[in-house]
Structure 1
Amino acid sequence: MKQKLFKSLPVAIAALFIGGAAQAQEQPVSNAAQQFSTWSIGVNAGVLTPTSPLGGHNDFSENKSSFGYGLYIKKQFTPYFSLRLDGIRGKLKGDNSKSYNDGKGPAIIGGNTAFKTDLNYAASLNAEVNIFNIDMFRKQDALQLYVSGGAGLAGYKPTVTTAGGASVQYPKNVKELIIPVGIGAKFKVSEKVNFDLGWSVYFVDGDNLDGTYRSTNHSDKFNYAHAGLEFALGKGKQLAFSNPVAATYDEALQAKNLANSLKSDLDAQKSENAKLRTEMADLLKDSDGDGVADKLDKCPNTPAGTVVDGSGCPLVAPAPIVTEKVIVTEADRKVVKQAIKDLEFDLAKATIRAKSYPSLNRVANLLVTKNFSLKLAGHTDNTGSADLNMRLSKDRAESVKAYLVSQGANASRIEATGYGKNQPIATNKTAAGRQKNRRVEFTLY
C-alpha cells in the first residue's frame, strides 16, 4: 500500500502544478496590467525534531531538539499559488531516557539506546497556497497565511549507540524519498522583505532515519519549525501580497463612477431637449391661425379665414386666380436643389444657420415671382427617441417655412410636414448615412 502511494505521488504533484499554471493564466486584468515581483529567495533557521504530532510510533522514547537551517527559492504564479524549491540541513537526535507511554519501561529497541543523524540535505519541490486575504478591501495585505505540500529527496547518515555503549555509524549516506507538508505565516516588513514563520512535517519513505528498525511497514518522520526572512526580487509590488478582490472592487467603483457620469450627461441632454422644445413652441406660435408665426406677424389677431400676406396682414384684394399651367424649369429645380444642399441647422435644434440664408432667399424669390407652391418635408436619423425625432423634423420644416414667409412668400402656399426617422434614404449604421438622413426636402409644384 505504501509503495503504491509513493509511486503515484509524482503524478498527483504534477497535476497540482498544472492547476497552478492554469490559475496563472486567469490572473485579474488589473493585476496583469501592473508589474509585480514574482521571484523571491528565503533563508531560515529553527529546530529539528525526529517526531511528528500527526500520529504514528517513534523508535525512541525521548526525542531531542536540534538546530537546523535552510533556504529556498520561490516563483509566485498568482496571488494564491506558488512553487518553492526548499533545502534544509541539521541534526536529529533521540534516546530511550524516558519510559514509553505503554508502560513497558525504557525498552531498548533493536538493541540501541540512542541515535544521532546528520541530515546532510532534505531537498523538496513544494506547492505553496495562500489561504485567504486578511482585508478584502486592501490592495496589498501585510499578513498572509499559507499551507504547503510537495515531494523530494533526503540524504542522511545515522550514528547509533548500542546497548553496550558503542557508537556505530552507517557506512554510507542513505537517500530516501520525503513528503513535506506544512503551514506558516508571513509578515510584510517592507516592500521587499517578509518575516516568515513556518512549521513542516517530513514523512520519510523508510525506517532508516534513526538507524533503528521498529517493525515492518513503519516509516520515520521529523519536523522543522523555523523563522526566517524572505526577500522579493525584481521590480514592483509582491504578487503574493496583492489582493485581486480589492482590485476588482476598485474597477467596479470606476465603472460605477463612469455610469454616473454618463447619466449626468444624459440628464443634461434631456434638459437641453426640453429647453429646445420650449423655444420652438415660442418661435412657431401662431395665435390667430393665419399661417404666420406671432414673431413674424405684423397684423396679429386677424379674423379666422382671412387671406394674409407674408407679414400676416390681410390682402387688400383677393389674390388673382392663376389659370395658366405652372411650369417648373430645370433652372428652378437647381435653385431648390442648391437650397437643400446649403441648408444647415444648429446641433439638435431647429435654428437655421446664417450660411443657409442666400440659398433660401432665392427659393423665396421663386415662390413670389412665379407663384409656385412648396412642400417641405423634414426628416431625421434614428438617434434619440421616435417622439423627439418627429417633433424635431416638424419643427425644422416649420422653421424653413417661417423664414420663407419672412422673405415675402405666401404662407398659404407652403406646406410643412415632419416624418421623423420613418423615411431614411441611407443606412443609419454609419455617420455618413445618418448625415444624409438628417434633411429637409423641397418639392415645387
Structure 2
Amino acid sequence: MKHKLFKSLPVAIAALFIGGAANAQTTPMSTTTPAEQFSTWSFGVNAGILSPISPLGGKNDFSDWKSDFGYGVYIKKQFTSYFSLRLDGIRGTLKADNSSAYKSGFTPNDGNNTAFKTKLNYAASLNAEVNLFNIDMFKKQNILQLYVTGGAGLSGYKPTVTAANGTVSDFGGGKDISELVIPVGIGAKVKLSEKINLDLGWSVYFVDGDNLDGTYRNGNSDKFNYAHAGLEFALGKGKQLAFSNPVAATYEEALQAKALAGSLKSDLDQQKAENAKLRSDMDDLLKDSDGDGVADKLDKCPGTPANTVVDGSGCPLVVPAPVTNEKVIITEEDRRVVREAIRNLEFDLGKATIRAHSFPTLDRVANLLSTKNISLKLAGHTDNTGSKDLNMRLSKARAESIKAYLVSKGANGSRIEATGYGMNQPIASNKTAAGRQKNRRVEFTIY
C-alpha cells in the first residue's frame, strides 16, 4: 500500500502545483475589484532548528533529543486572501542520544543503540496555507498575518546509529531511505515592505515509518519539527494578495456605494426641479387664453371669439369667395373662324411681319378669344431652307407676332401659348416647292 502511495504522490504534487500555475494568469476571486491587480506569486528562504521530537503526541526512541541546523526554500501561489498552495523543501541534520535516563524507565528494543544522527537530504511537500484573520478588519492592507499549514510530501534521509560500544553504523546500508511525510504547522508573517515579508514558522513532520532514527520502538512512527525564520519575496506588480482584507474592501465599496447613492439622489432631486421649471415654462409658452389654437406669445389677435377660424398669427382667416369655372363650348363656327384665319395668314418673306390682308380674319379670332374665354395654342413651323437655328428663331418669332397682335386686339394674353418648332415637324416633303409651302405654317389650336 505504501509503495503505491509513493508512486502516486509525485504525480499528485505535480498536478496540484501545475493547476496553481495555470491560475496565475487570472485575477484572484473575492478580493479584487476590476481595476485592481494583486501580486499572487512569491518565494521564500528560511533557516532554523531541526529537532527529532514532537509535542503533538507519540513517544521518542531516544531520551535526549538535540537541536541542529536546518534550512529551506519554498515557492507559493496565493489564490485568495485566505488560501494559497506552497511547495516546500527543507534540509538539515537530526540527532539524539540516551545521555539522560527515560523518565518512564523505557529501554529501546535495540538496547545497544545509544545515539543516532540522520542526514535529512530533503523533505519536499505540497502544503495548503490558510491565513487565519486580519488584525485590522477595516484596513485594506495589513502588516501582520497569522497562518496554519498542512500538506503531504516525500522525505529522503540517511541515518547512522551509535551502539553502546561506540561503533557507528549506517542504518540504511549506504542507501537513502524514502518515506511519506505529513507536515502541519503554524506561523506569522510581518510585511517589512511592499515586496518583502518576515516569515516566522514552526512545523511538525510526521514520518510514515520508524526508520528516521535507525531504532525501532514498538512500531511507532517517527516525527521531527522545524522552527524557522526567513524572508518571503513577492513577485510581480501590485500589492500582495495575502495581506489584502476583503472585508475592508467590501466595507469601502459599501461606503462608496452609499456616497454614490447620495450623489444620485442629489442629481435626481436637481433633475426633478429642472423638470418642474421646464414644465412651468412650457405651460407658460403654450398658454392659449382665447382657445383659437395659437399660443398667447404668438397671437397677434388676442380675444378671438370662439369657433373663429384663424391663421398662423391668430387672426381671423379671410376665405376668398369660391371661383366657379364657366364651361366653354367650342362650336363649329368657332372652328371655321380659326381655319379662315390660318388660310389667310401671310408673313413677309423670311420675317415675322404679318401682312395686312391677314388682319381681318385675325381680328375675328381675337374677338372670339375675348368673348368666349377660349384658350389658344400657336405653333410656328418652317421648311428646311436655311440653318436649323435660324428656322427655330423664325418659327418662334412668327408665333409670338400673332400672339402680340391678338393681345393688341383685346385677347387675354395669359390664355395664349406661342411655341416655335422650326423645321422639326414637317407635314410635307421639303424637296418640292409645294411641300415647302405647306411646311411654312402657324397652327392654331383652340380649347
The alpha-carbon deviation at position 188 of structure 1 amounts to 0.3
Aligned to 1:237: 239
Aligned to 2:211: 208
Aligned to 1:158: 159
Asked if residue 149 in structure 1 is aligned to residue 141 in structure 2, the reply is no
Aligned AA for 1:128? E
Query: Structure 1's 18 and 132: CA in aligned 2 closer, same or farther, altered over 3 A?
Result: farther
The alpha-carbon deviation at position 223 of structure 1 amounts to 0.5
Greater Cα offset, 260-269 or 87-96: 260-269
The alpha-carbon deviation at position 50 of structure 1 amounts to 0.6
Aligned to 2:107: 107
**Contact between 2:137 and 2:245, CA under 8 Å: does it hold in 1?**
yes
**Contact between 2:20 and 2:77, CA under 8 Å: does it hold in 1?**
no
**Contact between 2:108 and 2:217, CA under 8 Å: does it hold in 1?**
no
- Tell me how far apart the structure 2 counterparts of residues 31 and 304 of structure 1 sit (CA, whole Å): 68
Any idea what the Cα deviations from partners look like across 1:246-290, whole Å, max 9, x if unmatched? Answer: 444444544444444444333323222211221233334455666
Query: Structure 1's 246 and 197: CA in aligned 2 closer, same or farther, altered over 3 A?
Result: same
Asked if residue 120 in structure 1 is aligned to residue 121 in structure 2, the reply is yes
Aligned AA for 1:95? D
**Contact between 2:83 and 2:131, CA under 8 Å: does it hold in 1?**
yes
The alpha-carbon deviation at position 299 of structure 1 amounts to 7.7
Aligned AA for 1:113? T
- 1:120 aligned counterpart, secondary structure: strand
**Contact between 1:200 and 1:224, CA under 8 Å: does it hold in 2?**
yes
Kindly report the root-mean-square deviation, in angstroms, between the aligned alpha carbons of the 2 structures.
3.7
How many residues align? The count is: 319
Correspondence list, 1:385-404, <5 A: none
Aligned to 1:198: 201
Q: 2:47 aligns with which of 45, 48, 70?
A: 45
- Tell me how far apart the structure 1 counterparts of residues 223 and 88 of structure 2 sit (CA, whole Å): 17
Aligned AA for 2:85? L
Query: Structure 1's 268 and 208: CA in aligned 2 closer, same or farther, altered over 3 A?
Result: same
**Contact between 1:31 and 1:244, CA under 8 Å: does it hold in 2?**
no
**Contact between 1:96 and 1:106, CA under 8 Å: does it hold in 2?**
no
- Tell me how far apart the structure 2 counterparts of residues 84 and 309 of structure 1 sit (CA, whole Å): 89
**Contact between 2:38 and 2:238, CA under 8 Å: does it hold in 1?**
yes
- 2:266 aligned counterpart, secondary structure: helix
The alpha-carbon deviation at position 3 of structure 1 amounts to 6.8
The alpha-carbon deviation at position 200 of structure 1 amounts to 0.8
- 1:224 aligned counterpart, secondary structure: strand
Aligned to 2:441: none
Query: Structure 1's 295 and 130: CA in aligned 2 closer, same or farther, altered over 3 A?
Result: same
**Contact between 1:59 and 1:109, CA under 8 Å: does it hold in 2?**
no
Aligned to 1:388: none
Aligned AA for 2:222? D
Aligned AA for 1:142? I
Aligned AA for 1:182? G
Query: Structure 1's 292 and 134: CA in aligned 2 closer, same or farther, altered over 3 A?
Result: same
Q: 1:187 aligns with which of 190, 210, 227?
A: 190
Aligned to 1:138: 139
- 1:126 aligned counterpart, secondary structure: strand
Aligned AA for 1:152? G
Query: Structure 1's 158 and 291: CA in aligned 2 closer, same or farther, altered over 3 A?
Result: closer
The two structures have a TM-score, normalised by structure 1, of 0.59
- Tell me how far apart the structure 2 counterparts of residues 84 and 113 of structure 1 sit (CA, whole Å): 38
- 1:264 aligned counterpart, secondary structure: helix
Any idea what the Cα deviations from partners look like across 1:2-32, whole Å, max 9, x if unmatched? Answer: 7777677668767865886797657248456
Aligned to 1:79: 81
**Contact between 2:46 and 2:231, CA under 8 Å: does it hold in 1?**
yes
- Tell me how far apart the structure 1 counterparts of residues 302 and 182 of structure 2 sit (CA, whole Å): 103
Asked if residue 266 in structure 1 is aligned to residue 268 in structure 2, the reply is yes
The alpha-carbon deviation at position 180 of structure 1 amounts to 1.6
- The answer for unaligned runs of 5 or more in structure 2 is 325-447
- 2:84 aligned counterpart, secondary structure: strand
The alpha-carbon deviation at position 140 of structure 1 amounts to 1.8
- The answer for unaligned runs of 5 or more in structure 1 is 326-445
The alpha-carbon deviation at position 158 of structure 1 amounts to 2.0
**Contact between 1:61 and 1:106, CA under 8 Å: does it hold in 2?**
no
Query: Structure 1's 4 and 181: CA in aligned 2 closer, same or farther, altered over 3 A?
Result: farther
Any idea what the Cα deviations from partners look like across 1:306-341, whole Å, max 9, x if unmatched? Answer: 99998889x8xx97896679xxxxxxxxxxxxxxxx
Aligned AA for 2:162? T
The alpha-carbon deviation at position 237 of structure 1 amounts to 2.1
- 1:273 aligned counterpart, secondary structure: helix
Asked if residue 56 in structure 1 is aligned to residue 58 in structure 2, the reply is yes
- Tell me how far apart the structure 1 counterparts of residues 322 and 83 of structure 2 sit (CA, whole Å): 95
Query: Structure 1's 8 and 219: CA in aligned 2 closer, same or farther, altered over 3 A?
Result: farther
Aligned to 1:341: none
Query: Structure 1's 116 and 290: CA in aligned 2 closer, same or farther, altered over 3 A?
Result: closer
- Tell me how far apart the structure 2 counterparts of residues 312 and 121 of structure 1 sit (CA, whole Å): 103
- Tell me how far apart the structure 1 counterparts of residues 284 and 33 of structure 2 sit (CA, whole Å): 57
Aligned AA for 2:217? R
Greater Cα offset, 30-39 or 144-153: 30-39
The alpha-carbon deviation at position 96 of structure 1 amounts to 2.5
The alpha-carbon deviation at position 186 of structure 1 amounts to 0.6
